[in-house]
Amino acid sequence: MNKSHPLLIVIGGCVLLGSVATGLGYWLTGGGPQSFRSDIVVHNSDGSPDSPPQASSPESASATDNTGAGPDAGPPPRSAIPDNEFGALVRKGEQIFADPGQYAGQYVGNDLRCQSCHFDAGRYDKTAPMRAAWPMYPAYRSKNQHVNDFAERLQGCFTYSMNGKAPPRGSDILQALEAYSFWLAKGTTVGESLPSKGFPDIGKPQQAPSYERGQAVFQANCALCHGADGQGQQAADGGYGFPPLWGKHSYNWGAGMHKVETAARFIKAAMPLGNPALTEQQAWDVAFFVNSHERPQDPRFDGSVQGTAKQFHHHDYARYGQSVDGQVLGSQAPPSATVP
């Protein structure tokens, strides 16, 4: 009888737990002074190391071309933040970005962070970096049907993605986040789109997104970190090591990530963490599955799910107002703007 099997199982389990612990450490520390990608080693099925992509910075590769524009040098290194009053505001902005619950908690109503979607404190070039966002404002947004400046765009993130309330214009919190984004955009040209703007494009699905296929993708690739129930994993201090993907602690029905295409683009570019290897169809399917669960109400809710759906949720594969397992999504939504 071969007695080496128990040893192999123990070794395999240690490798798996080590990978989870490394990823958890990233989320708990808010990215840290170095790119989270440099600390993760993912192993292929044959045991060989697989190096994940690196975040864009002067110490790493230039931004991937998402728009057809030329390459971008990336944001300045953290070591270049000036040692003066402006630099202090930039550093405060990065702190808020990495952990808004701690540094802007009065405006945050869930357990997400800005960098839950914008990795490495908004620096990673495949997850809608702030460097590419800042130069494109002021801009018209169909979401609220008027021209937004960058401060209003940030307010929307608190209202929708953070399920909270908007910090007042001119507040220290908004000023710090604006200063941080401005500094990340150093060397860019106002009004010119960078290659890394937004999440990378994804092709239309070859098949209509499927709840059943998405559930299988989730169980095989996502549940280890985000939990089989999608509620994330909490750390010893009560904060989330891996964020919840639906339910009262996640983004609400008005957040950009509730759009299946937006979620699919993010997932294809960045998930699973450290080894984004899903096919486009798998990304569409699992995005459809994730957004087929109840979450906090759309802050624009007018008292009628169907009325709100008709006015605000007419994008492709919209789930709000649709029936899943006999329940109309949005009808049992927890309240929005649940700020402590």
* Site of tokens 């150093």: 186
Structural domains in the chain, sorted by start: 5-50 (no CATH), 78-184 (1.10.760.10), 211-328 (1.10.760.10)
Average pLDDT, the chain: 84
The average pLDDT across 278-287 equals 98
In this prediction, residue 32 has a pLDDT band, given cuts at 50, 70 and 90, of very low
Q: Is 151 helix (H, G, I), strand (E, B) or coil?
A: helix
The average pLDDT across 154-174 equals 97
Euclidean distance between CA atoms 340 and 139, whole angstroms: 32
pLDDT > 80? residue 286: yes
**Total-model pTM:** 0.81
In this prediction, residue 238 has a pLDDT band, given cuts at 50, 70 and 90, of confident
Q: Is 147 helix (H, G, I), strand (E, B) or coil?
A: strand
pLDDT > 70? residue 14: no
Euclidean distance between CA atoms 34 and 132, whole angstroms: 20
| 79 vs 3: which has the higher pLDDT | 79
| 44 vs 293: which has the higher pLDDT | 293
- H/E stretch holding 184 reads helix 172-184
Instruction: Check residue 241 and give its pLDDT.
Output: 81
How many Cβ atoms from other residues are within 10 Å of residue 18's Cβ? Answer: 12
- H/E stretch holding 241 reads strand 240-242
How many Cβ atoms from other residues are within 10 Å of residue 70's Cβ? Answer: 10
Instruction: Check residue 323 and give its pLDDT.
Output: 97
Instruction: Check residue 40 and give its pLDDT.
Output: 29
Q: Which two tokens stand for residue 88?
A: 């202090």
Instruction: Check residue 338 and give its pLDDT.
Output: 76
Euclidean distance between CA atoms 10 and 176, whole angstroms: 47
The average pLDDT across 275-298 equals 97
In this prediction, residue 72 has a pLDDT band, given cuts at 50, 70 and 90, of confident
- Residues facing 146 on adjacent strands: 141
Instruction: Check residue 71 and give its pLDDT.
Output: 76
In this prediction, residue 53 has a pLDDT band, given cuts at 50, 70 and 90, of very low
In this prediction, residue 240 has a pLDDT band, given cuts at 50, 70 and 90, of confident
Q: Is 131 helix (H, G, I), strand (E, B) or coil?
A: helix
Sign of CA dihedral 107, 338, 163, 301: negative
List the single range of 50-54, 159-163, 167-171, 283-287 with lowest mean pLDDT: 50-54
The answer to whether 62 and 56 are in contact (CB under 8 A) is: yes
Euclidean distance between CA atoms 298 and 335, whole angstroms: 8
Euclidean distance between CA atoms 156 and 174, whole angstroms: 11
Q: Which two tokens stand for residue 137?
A: 């404002």
Euclidean distance between CA atoms 130 and 145, whole angstroms: 22
- Whether omega before 272 lies within 30 degrees of 0, making that bond cis, reads yes
Euclidean distance between CA atoms 313 and 157, whole angstroms: 18
The average pLDDT across 210-236 equals 95
Q: Which long-range contacts (CB under 8 A, 24 or more apart) does 330-333 make?
A: 330/253, 330/294, 330/297, 330/298, 330/301, 330/305, 331/305, 332/294, 333/252, 333/253, 333/294, 333/295, 333/296, 333/297, 333/298, 333/301
pLDDT > 90? residue 315: yes
List the single range of 38-52, 88-102, 148-162, 167-181 with lowest mean pLDDT: 38-52
- H/E stretch holding 234 reads strand 233-234
List the single range of 32-41, 245-254, 331-340 with lowest mean pLDDT: 32-41
The average pLDDT across 197-212 equals 97
Q: What percent of the chain has pLDDT over 90?
A: 74
Instruction: Check residue 234 and give its pLDDT.
Output: 83
The answer to whether 278 and 229 are in contact (CB under 8 A) is: no
* Site of tokens 């864009």: 56
In this prediction, residue 70 has a pLDDT band, given cuts at 50, 70 and 90, of low
List the single range of 21-30, 127-136, 168-177 with lowest mean pLDDT: 21-30
Instruction: Check residue 340 and give its pLDDT.
Output: 62
Q: Which two tokens stand for residue 81?
A: 């933040």
pLDDT > 90? residue 49: no
Q: Which two tokens stand for residue 232?
A: 């994330």
Phi, psi angles (nearest 5°) of residue 64: -70, 145
- H/E stretch holding 324 reads strand 323-324
